[in-house]
Structure 1
């Protein structure tokens, strides 16, 4: 009788399917899709990418060449959905092409901050001692200045151009990445797997690049997502001041600067570029906040 009961229990155990272990990024994706705010942010980001990729197809006019003084300051109509600017250029077309520049700014500026900040923070946290003091004191000096003021000073030194503006915005974002990476490295370098690699004779550089920094990716990716919106906003501010994109470049900050003289008579000239900046920054902030909550192990059920 007991043998029969054991057979039945064994058959029940075998019938039960083993549960699949969920990964960190799989859980994060499911939480993002369940959260309304982060899902809205993700949809805004995807819309920006689609508009940037399909700009030649979606734009009804050329953003620079298809303009006429006769059509200047035309209000929104069936022919020009968002109106025209001071040179008769279609605002909708310029906003669509401006999405490409915004993605370029976000990728390059955040990429600079990501690489430089990760390396500096990793070296400071792993080596410690006087190296840590020197690097972090430089970071503290950079953080003592307002970010936009430091970016203006750097562009004034490098010269007025969109490329220099992206470099300046990227360097200004280095301190945030460096501090996050340093604090994470300080806790990871004491883990058993790092001690084991060190005891096996693995060089410090290899330990840092192969074992320590890969385990810092979650907070770094969250910071990178949040920094894209800030980079786009700072670059637009520099262009508005005449320090970023120059001439007829269809950049949203330039459009705001060109249209401020007609704010009272033709408000649509700056309203729609301003809304584009607002939506993109909002999208990255919503998605970044949702990603931060999704990757927080304390919120994992």
Structure 2
């Protein structure tokens, strides 16, 4: 038999889903993301050419029937590189934010639930990290670890931990004083059980919204690091690296820069639209 609390929780999520589907901007965001995910999964089947195969004789060819988006300085098909680049973009965003979310939840829960010296130490470290500009801290971390896509993902994860830690801490501070949490403590429930059963489930809504928006930010940051030569290295078909390679040909072959830039813009736009829609759907009071 389903408990009454579970039924209420299911209804809340169903209502949130219905509100999300009524939001046209959020639906547009989901469509954009779905198309990017589709491209990433089926890249070998829909890409017309090998993304790293060079053809010097076909360098800087403008968009045509043979190469729909033209070719780059090494004669590589830009459309194929953009399609394969979706894999790296999504991989960077999802993995880096997932890692940041895990560590942010651990630190935020510890700080909010136990308070005292634990809270003081964790939040001072978080404050120090937040004192540095986001991109500069990421650049510093990559400079220490070395210019590589994996290290760029690690850097993006680290710089995103503070925002999740502060978010989950604020939620835990408000929820842990609730009557049902105090009742669970009185009945002898362990701290781990209280955290898993009561604190985390009731903190999911803001975490989902923040995670979606942070994926967009992570994709943009990864593109920026690759543009500076600190992320993906040649010949990886990553959108930021494609922009970096095409800087010298901006006037000669503008399509080499334009289409990867549009791909980054659409990817970030999709996650931002979905994140805004999730925020309104999970907390409809914000829309009013």
The normalised TM-score by structure 2 is 0.95
Q: 5 Å matches for 1:87-98?
A: 87-98=74-85
Q: 5 Å matches for 1:257-268?
A: 257-268=244-255
Greater Rg over alpha carbons, structure: 1
From 23, 39, 45, give the equivalent of 2:11.
23
Q: 5 Å matches for 1:69-218?
A: 69-218=56-205
The match for 1:9 is none
Matched, 1:58 2:63: no
What whole-Å deviation, never above 9, does each CA across 1:173-220 have from its counterpart, x for those lacking one? Answer: 111111110000001101112112211222223322232112111110
Question: Residues of 2 paired with 1:298 and 1:52: CA distance?
Answer: 36
What whole-Å deviation, never above 9, does each CA across 1:20-68 have from its counterpart, x for those lacking one? Answer: 9772221121112111111111111111111111101110001012x21
Shift of 1:297: 4.7
Matched, 1:249 2:204: no
Question: Conserved in 1, the CA contact under 8 Å of 2:70 and 2:79?
Answer: yes
SS in 2 for 1:173: helix
From 264, 277, 285, give the equivalent of 1:290.
277
Shift of 1:299: 5.6
Q: Which consecutive residues of structure 2, in runs of 5 or more, have no partner in the other structure?
A: 1-6
Question: Residues of 2 paired with 1:73 and 1:216: CA distance?
Answer: 51
Compute the RMSD of aligned alpha carbons.
1.5
Shift of 1:300: 8.9
What whole-Å deviation, never above 9, does each CA across 1:227-258 have from its counterpart, x for those lacking one? Answer: 00000000010000000011100000000000
Question: Residues of 1 paired with 2:286 and 2:199: CA distance?
Answer: 24
Question: Residues of 2 paired with 1:73 and 1:285: CA distance?
Answer: 33
What whole-Å deviation, never above 9, does each CA across 1:3-25 have from its counterpart, x for those lacking one? Answer: xxxxxxxxxxxxxxxxx977222
What whole-Å deviation, never above 9, does each CA across 1:104-157 have from its counterpart, x for those lacking one? Answer: 101111011100111111110000011111111111111111111000000011
The normalised TM-score by structure 1 is 0.91
Relative to structure 1, the CA distance from residue 251 to residue 300 in structure 2 (aligned partners, 3 Å threshold; closer, same or farther) is closer
SS in 1 for 2:110: helix
Q: Which moved more, 1:262-271 or 1:195-204?
A: 195-204
The match for 1:36 is 24
Question: Residues of 2 paired with 1:40 and 1:149: CA distance?
Answer: 32
Question: Conserved in 1, the CA contact under 8 Å of 2:62 and 2:253?
Answer: yes
Question: Residues of 2 paired with 1:203 and 1:230: CA distance?
Answer: 37
What whole-Å deviation, never above 9, does each CA across 1:89-118 have from its counterpart, x for those lacking one? Answer: 000000000001111101111011100111
SS in 2 for 1:39: helix
Question: Conserved in 1, the CA contact under 8 Å of 2:280 and 2:287?
Answer: no
